[in-house]
Structure formats: C-alpha cells, structure tokens
Structure 1
Amino acid sequence: MNFDFTKFQSIWDTNKEKEDILRDKSQLLVDLKGEPGKNCGGFCRFCYFRKLDSNNITPFGCKNCTYQVGCDYCTYSVREINGDFLPLPLVVQQVQSALFFQQYKKVNITGGGDVSFYPDLIPLCEYIGNIGLKIHLGYTSGKGFKDLDTAKALVDAGVDEVTFSVFSTDPDMRREWLNDRNARISLKCLEYFCENCEVHCAVIVIPGVNDGEVLNRTLSDLVDWGAKGVILMRFANTTEQGLILKNAPIIEGITPHSVEEFKNIVKEVHESFGDKIRITGTPLYDPLTKAPFAITYHKDILERLRNKIEAEATIVTGKIAYDFLREIFQDTPVNVVKVNKDISDLITAEDLKTVDLKKLKDTVFLPPLALVHDRVAEKILNRDGRDRMIIRGVDKLTLDGEVSGTLTEEEVLEFEKRAFTELIEKINFFGKR
C-alpha cells in the first residue's frame, strides 16, 4: 500500500476541529480516587459495581495496552479499583500542576467514590475558590453531606455547578435504594444547590420502582426546585446490557426496559417537562438535538457523506448503534455487523468470537474503546485463515445524553459531521478499493 501522509494530516485536522466543538465546555478534571462501595457510604442497590469479585481480576485488553493483554485502564480503572481517597495535599498538587500548563475557569471535582464523602471537600473547595476558579461537583449522590450547612459552605467556597444522582425525591425510596441514611438532609442539600447553582440531575430508571408516577413526582420536584437538566439512565442488569464484570444480575428478578421502551419514556417525559427542564437519556436519546446519530434525520448530510466513500470495509458495532450505522452506510461499499452487546464501547473478545466471519471484508473497523487487545482481535477475526486488517475507528461518532444535553442541535450535528468525515477518510485510506 502506498501511504499518502497528506490524508493523515487531513484526519488529524478533522479530529482537532471536532474536539474544538466540545473544548469550550472543558474543565480541569480533578480525580479524588476512591472506590464504589468503600468511599460512598455503601453500595446503592443498582450500582454497576455491586457483587464485583475484586479478588478474581482478569484484564480485558484495550487500545491502551502495549505488548501484552492488560494495562491499568482495562485491568483496574474499568472496575473503579482506585484505592482510597487521595489526601488533600496530593489533590492540591494535582490542581497546581495542571494550572502550570493551562488556564481553566472551572475545576470539576470527581472520583471513583462519592465526592460528598471526601473528608476535606470544604477545605479543597476553599483552596480552589481562593485562587479564583469556580467549582463543579461531579456526580455526587449527596449521601455524605451531614447537614444543610455543608451545602451552604460549598456554595460560599465557589461551587456553582453540581451533577447530582437523585433516583427519587422520595426520602424513603432513597433510603432503601441508595443506602442513604440521611435522605432528607441530602435532598435538602440538593434543593439548596438547585436554588444557588447550575444543577444537572441523573435518575437511573428501574421498572416498577422509580418509573411511572414516581418519576413524574421526582421531575416535578426538580422543576420546582430549579434544576437545570435531568438525564434518565437505563438500568442494566445483564451482560448484554453492559454488565461485563461477571456480576450480573445486579438485582434478581428485575427485567430492565428495552431500548425502545426506554426511548419512549424519555419522549414522554420530555413532552411533559421539556418546556421547564432539559431532558435527555442514555444510552438514548436527546429529544432536542436528536442525538445519538442526529445526522440520520438529515438526508442531505447523509448523501454528501456517502458520496465521499471510495473503499470497502466492515464496521463491527453494538446493537444500539447498529440500525443507525446501517442507515448511514446504506448503498455504500461499507457493511455493518453487530454483536449481542448494547453498547459498542463495552464489546469484549467474547463478543468478537460470535461474529460470522463470512460477513467481514478485508478491512474491519472496531469501536476504539472496545475492551479487547489489538492482537487478540486480529487472531479472533482472522481465525478462518484470512489476513484481514483490523483497525480501531473514531473515538466518538456521536454524543450521548450526558454530553449532548449541554449542546445545541447545530453543535451536535457539526460534531457528527466531522466525526463521520474522519471515519470515512480512514475507510478510504485503509479500505480495499
């Protein structure tokens, strides 16, 4: 193959422009570490990491691995095995080091545990606030807040944005399902944050538990309190839905909503509350921007993208993305093959073993975040004696509700156009003509 490095430069430029769409929303991410179940006041009943056997760890393999299967990311990080919270001096050093190289307006404090349980959270926020930066508390359930004065102190220190895991505004339900011993206090803190900060809430939706009228009451409360947005998150309970850590089912006897059922819930909630609060869903969908894969609603964009394809290849993906990608690459030399896993980024080596090799062309694109080592993927997908080229595609072809909820429809479309342009350039470069 004759390599045209000008095409590589084009791919690089496209990727930079694509990331620029999100860069204005970027914040300095400060990781406090900590682990689910240990640094969060105890597991929520629906936690993805509950029932995990940390004594029996086998690395998945991923794009970050080098010569052998297993790196820190695919061995420990995917399981949130981070160790205890970092001491305050190390976190402060983390902030200082980052600010030495780049300027930020806001610091996003997050971790594997619940940040509300970080023992030095108020001193940390006071330090950050004193150097002139605003603060985003990333994804807390509020279970660790001891009283309303804690929330007031955090706001006074500079917290002006909070991502809050709600589940329900019914304190008894939170006590049962979130293991929230101080449910009324955490809800009071949430209400105070809503009055004084930009608050984005998350609700994991479990059939027969906090959907239906319970969900409506929760959203009505959040609207009254002044929350900015809510993302509904589909509960997963099987390996196919995303429980890849050999801990399924999380809750016996619960059958999660199907993808279509969940999408309809998001639609109905948006129709009821969308004029008062921003509603999105994950793994789908965003009623305002039409993400994920918003370009499927724009035939003119699809036609222009298809006309750029000059080579043939196969794209391996998950069940949710499959129908979208098949429509996007309809009547082109690119075919799409799915495995029995909802989320493409959670595809493992076991999923690849189920692929019908007869459907694969000479060039095969895998999701970049798929949890399989490159050499293992090549061995599995060439076990019929062929010599296919196995390549990872583009990190993000679209955006789910966690990101699209902060963007406009035009920004999402622009992101997707650049992402698919980048993928098509890779197809043309590596695919068979």
Structure 2
Amino acid sequence: IDDPKIATKLINNGVEEVTFTVFSCNPQLRREWMRDKKPEASLEALKIFCETTEVHAAAVIIPNVNDGNELLETCAKLEEWGAKALIMMRFANYENQGIILGNDPILKGIEPHPVEEFEKLVRKIDKEFNLRVTGTPVCDPKNNTPFALADDNSKKYLEILPEIKAEATILTGKIAAPYIEKIIKNLGAQDLVNVYATEKDIACLITRKDLEKVDHSQLKETVIIPGRAFVHDKEAQEILTRDGTDRIIARGPDKLTVDGEMSGTLNKYDVIEREMEGFYELIQAINFFGVRR
C-alpha cells in the first residue's frame, strides 16, 4: 500500500474485516524482507484498518529476523492499534518442511525454528498480548489444535466414534503422527492400527519421494495415505508394494484437524465437530479397506 488513504477508501466502501501480512512493524524490516517500497505508508494503513475494522495480522516468523524483541514490538503495536488476531507462520526452508519444488533452501544460512520451539513461541505470545494468537503448523492455545481430540479431556467425544474393527497403517506427516497415534490409543485400537510418520512435516505435502523412503516392514496390508497427499494413486500403489506384499492403498480424509488460519475463526466446539467428522471418515475407511482378523 503506497497511500494510507487507500485504507480509508476501502473502509468507506464497506470493508469490515482485513487480513494483513504485517511481517514486522519495523519499516526497515518490511523494506528489506518484503520489498515494501513504502513501508511507512503500509503500516499507517494497517493502523487505520486496526482502528476501524477487524484485523487479522499475519507474519512468517524467520529466526533472528522478525522474532525475539522485534516480534514483541510488533505485537505491542498491533495490540495498541486494536488488531484482533495474529497468525504466526513458521518459516519453512527445506524439502522436509514443505519446499517440494526442488528449490530449497529458500534462504541459505537460515535454520527454521524447530516445531517444539515454535509452539513455545506461539504460546508465549498468546499469554503476553491481548490478541487472538494462532500458529501454523502449530498451534492454537485457545482451541488446543492441531488435534484437539488428542487431549485427555476429549476422551468423552471419542466414545461417540465407531469402533475400529480392522487392521491398517495410517501413513502421515511427522507433526501429525504423535497426535493421531494418541487418538488411536485412546480409541483402544493400537493393536489394530499403527501410525507411520514420513520425514515430511506436513501430511498434505507428502510426495513420492517420501513414500520411497518408507520402511515396508512397518506397513500392514492396508495403508491409508492422506487424502491430499501430492502423489498419484498408481505411484503410491507401486511404491508401497515394492517389497512384494500385495497391499491395499487408500486415501483417507482431506483433513483430520484444522490449521491455524482456520482455527482462529472457530470456537473449541466447532473444532471438535470438524475433527470428529474427519476421524469418523478415517475409521470408516479403515473398517472398509482394512484387514479383519
């Protein structure tokens, strides 16, 4: 935005909600990292939006660039101006983190936050500021996503789901795997279903390269892959049966939980409802395609 009056004009024409990629409230950082030619004008426009509309600010968090004190100062400004929410996005730099077009690293010499460290940062910001803070790929401190159903307090909801009656392997991403594994355990189906974590952080970004690294000895006769995995069905079938075992390869639901962008607009009951729908569909797939003993 090269003129703050643009914000006023949009508001006068009925704009009530704005998602704004802030990155930082430091003009110098916006100029350097976003190639914003007029960062002061952009930030003034953001301030106007915050004062009049519902603003959801977004920032890709790059270590030693816009985290630390820079992030605290940005959040303080957003809070002061009246922003409603902040979505913190973990910077990805390598193939296993989702850079799947062969162009990694995006920024040489930058090591993204480990997932556990990023989650701690999201929770810290959520506690310190009067903003609706969510993170992606983790987490939403208010709604307990991703995988709110993995929380011990959610066991009562799992009782509503159908019983798992067949054997299968759930193949997924590295971040989702421990959550899904806990839910399967809480369903009492750990003897029937195992969860296999690929090297890819995000399940939706699994490609044939990830499948080629899979240890076939850990796979059952039925394998459920993510519904939106970036791999052709025939390729998945060929790769996952290379050990000579005739397996059934089926796609599961597109989503089993909600990401930070969506979670921030939902309440905890909406989240539970969506996750229940996903796991109901997953269990139906396991019982249909899985092997019954």
Please classify the TM superposition score into its range, dividing by the shorter chain length: over 0.9
Q: Distance in 2 between matches of 1:301 and 1:230?
A: 31
Deviates more, 1:151-160 or 1:239-248: 151-160
In 1, are the aligned partners of 2:20 and 2:57 still within 8 Å (CA)?
A: yes
Of 2, 10, 19 in structure 2, the residue corresponding to residue 154 of structure 1 is 10
In 1, are the aligned partners of 2:161 and 2:276 still within 8 Å (CA)?
A: no
Deviation at 1:349, TM superposition (A): 0.2
Q: Distance in 2 between matches of 1:277 and 1:415?
A: 24
Q: How many residues align?
A: 287
Deviates more, 1:422-431 or 1:297-306: 297-306
Q: Secondary structure at the match of 2:20?
A: strand
Deviation at 1:316, TM superposition (A): 0.5
Of 248, 251, 268 in structure 2, the residue corresponding to residue 392 of structure 1 is 251
Q: Distance in 1 between matches of 2:180 and 2:160?
A: 12
Deviation at 1:306, TM superposition (A): 7.4
- 2:170 is the alignment partner of 1:315: yes
Partner in structure 1 of residue 99 of structure 2: 243
Q: Distance in 1 between matches of 2:134 and 2:75?
A: 13
In 2, are the aligned partners of 1:305 and 1:421 still within 8 Å (CA)?
A: no
Of 196, 211, 214 in structure 2, the residue corresponding to residue 355 of structure 1 is 214
In 2, are the aligned partners of 1:367 and 1:395 still within 8 Å (CA)?
A: yes
Q: Which amino acid aligns with 2:145?
A: A
Q: Distance in 2 between matches of 1:197 and 1:288?
A: 23
Q: Distance in 1 between matches of 2:101 and 2:224?
A: 24
Q: Secondary structure at the match of 1:240?
A: helix
Q: Distance in 2 between matches of 1:300 and 1:343?
A: 25
- 2:150 is the alignment partner of 1:296: yes
Which ranges in structure 1 are unaligned for 5 or more consecutive residues? 1-144
Deviates more, 1:185-194 or 1:292-301: 292-301
Partner in structure 2 of residue 257 of structure 1: 113
Q: Which amino acid aligns with 1:429?
A: F
Deviation at 1:300, TM superposition (A): 2.2
Of 180, 194, 201 in structure 2, the residue corresponding to residue 342 of structure 1 is 201
In 1, are the aligned partners of 2:145 and 2:257 still within 8 Å (CA)?
A: yes
Relative to the length of structure 2, the TM-score reads: 0.95
Of 35, 57, 62 in structure 2, the residue corresponding to residue 201 of structure 1 is 57
Q: Which amino acid aligns with 1:174?
A: R
- 2:138 is the alignment partner of 1:279: no
In 2, are the aligned partners of 1:306 and 1:329 still within 8 Å (CA)?
A: no
Partner in structure 1 of residue 291 of structure 2: 432
Deviation at 1:397, TM superposition (A): 0.4
User: How has the CA–CA distance of structure 1 residues 324 and 371 changed in structure 2, closer, same or farther, with 3 Å as cutoff?
Assistant: same
Please tell me the root mean square deviation across aligned C-alpha atoms, in Å: 1.3
Deviation at 1:384, TM superposition (A): 1.6
Q: Which amino acid aligns with 2:173?
A: G
In 2, are the aligned partners of 1:296 and 1:302 still within 8 Å (CA)?
A: no
Partner in structure 1 of residue 278 of structure 2: 419
Runs of 4 or more consecutive aligned structure 1 residues displaced over 4 Å after TM superposition:
none
Which ranges in structure 2 are unaligned for 5 or more consecutive residues? none
Q: Distance in 2 between matches of 1:292 and 1:307?
A: 22
Partner in structure 2 of residue 103 of structure 1: none
- 2:55 is the alignment partner of 1:189: no
Deviation at 1:299, TM superposition (A): 5.0
In 1, are the aligned partners of 2:168 and 2:291 still within 8 Å (CA)?
A: yes
In 2, are the aligned partners of 1:295 and 1:301 still within 8 Å (CA)?
A: no
Q: Secondary structure at the match of 1:319?
A: coil
Relative to the length of structure 1, the TM-score reads: 0.65
- 2:79 is the alignment partner of 1:223: yes
Q: Distance in 2 between matches of 1:390 and 1:372?
A: 12
